[in-house]
Chains A and B, each alone.
Chain A
Amino acid sequence: MTSDVSDTSTQPELRPLAGILAWAWPGLGHISIGQKRRGVLIMAGMLFMILTGLFAGGLDSVDRREDRLWFIAQAGCGPVAFVLDIANQSMLKAGRPPTDPARLNTVSMGRPNEMGTLFIALAGLMNVIVVLDAAFFDPKRSAGEAPERMRRRRSDRRPAKTPDDDTSDNQTESNEAAPDDA
């Protein structure tokens, strides 16, 4: 009976605000729930992928009209993708027919376009995972507790302990790892 209660209390709860913030700006969702370092690393990784994609493929890597399916993946990056698309449509394509030489020189084609599009689409798909992680974040992870299978492996190696010993062990782990995100 007691173990059932403790199992339900360890279920990650839904944090809709963290999910929305994570979509609005990659990494912000984790920062909002106190996972500062995690959030900063996610932000750095996502911006690195988006900027590398832009560097390789230019603004034309994000195109809601011509690459609609890719844009669905890129939209996972959040408003950044929509801003880039607006900039693309207004700076590079506005008022220029597809055969205009000036437009052909500035839009990306072939490999640069493929790589730029791929980088930003993968960043968007990764951010979907980030949004889900922020929305259903398990606080036990930040306390340094290992996943279930690692705990099982450890307990196989250690001699059998009483329930009291296990509780004190977990508390020590939590106290050691918690300052990371404080």
Chain B
Amino acid sequence: MSMLSYIPFVYPLQSVYAWWYVLLIPLALGISVVWKAIRVPDFNDYWRQVVAMTIQIVLAMIGLALLLALFVQVVIPRLPVDMS
């Protein structure tokens, strides 16, 4: 598909293949906007709470990814192999 025939929101964005993980940030932001809109009793501190929740989600995901990578790259190769 050439760029000339590309229609946004109808055809997929091909460059997502390379940077799909960056989409975690808008995903976390969207969830935070909706969740905080439901939960906060008043809106004085709303956007600060949204940003804080977004950062928490992204950091938690990065932490989980690092733990998983550690497990797959370091722990699993050291497990004893039963050759019998």
Contact = CB atoms under 8 A, between A and B. Distances in A.
A14 interface: no
Interface in B19-73: 20, 23, 26-27, 29-38, 41-43, 46
B75 interface: no
Given A111-B17, A112-B17, A126-B31, A42 B38 contact: yes
Nearest to A109: B12
Given A111-B16, A113-B12, A130 B23 contact: no
Contacts, number: 110
B41 A44 contact: no
Interface centre among B17, B23, B34, B36, by most A CB within 10 Å? B34
A120 B10 CA distance: 14
A37 B31 CA distance: 17
A48 B41 contact: no
A119 B12 contact: no
Interface centre among A38, A111, A141, by most B CB within 10 Å? A111
Interface of B: 1, 8-14, 16-17, 20, 23, 26-27, 29-38, 41-43, 46
Interface of A: 37-38, 41-42, 44-46, 48-49, 51-52, 54-60, 91-92, 105-116, 118-119, 122-123, 126, 129-130, 133, 141-142, 144-147, 177, 180
